[in-house]
Amino acid sequence: ETDFAEWRRVIDVNLGGPFLACRAAGQRMLADGHPGGSIINVASVLGERGLANGAAYCSAQAGVLNLTRALALEWARGGVRVNAIGAGWTEGMAMAGDDESRAKLERYLPYKRLARPDEIAGIAVYLASDVSAYLTGQVVWVEGGALSHV
């Protein structure tokens, strides 16, 4: 049971933060007359899949995915690309529970391990580069096949 104050806090941090960052970066890119720019949001795989007792967080992450898509459409004429990385469970992230919980999660994942941070970073470099100049409004999932798992 999530009370409304906690709901608001989670939404404000996890969706409000990306909104404010996108707005600041996008306004600057559009106002400065840049020939283009790239904004990369990072969202969780839980924006695509729900999690019991995680309604606020999952909702916020889904919001980041759709914020990305909406801003991509709004800012494309100004040459600003907006994409997202849909990150799965990653080494170094805070995990509730103990080693047993982590082992259970790893057994569930197709690669049987968590992602390494450099595997996420490589996608960010790609999205920021000119190689992805015709890519906007997309979510690049870096989740080791977790979303393909039934």
pLDDT of residue 14: 98
pLDDT computed for residue 42 by the predictor: 98
Amino acid at 21: A
For residue 75, the model assigns a pLDDT of 96
Residues 6+ apart with CB under 8 A from 77: none
Fold that domain 4-145 belongs to in CATH = Rossmann fold (3.40.50)
pLDDT of residue 86: 97
Element (H, E) at 37: strand 37-44
Q: What is the residue extent of each domain of the chain? A: 4-145
| pLDDT score recorded for residue 85 | 98
Catalytic one among 57, 108, 111, 126? 57
Strand partners, 141: 86
Residues 68 and 139: beta-carbon distance below 8 Å: yes
Is residue 57 part of the annotated active site? The answer reads yes
DSSP β-bridge partners for residue 38: 81
* Contacts of residue 13, Cβ cutoff 8 Å, sequence gap at least 6: 60
Q: Are 27 and 80 in contact (CB under 8 A)?
A: no
Is-contact 40 124, C-beta < 8 A?
Answer: yes
Q: What is the pLDDT along the chain (150 residues), one digit of tens a residue?
A: 789 999 999 999 999 999 999 999 999 999 977 678 999 999 999 999 988 899 999 999 999 999 999 999 999 999 999 999 999 988 877 666 678 878 888 888 889 999 999 999 999 999 999 999 999 999 999 998 888 875
Instruction: Count CB atoms within 10 A of the CB of residue 43.
Output: 25
From CA 92, how far away is CA 137, in angstroms rounded?
A: 28
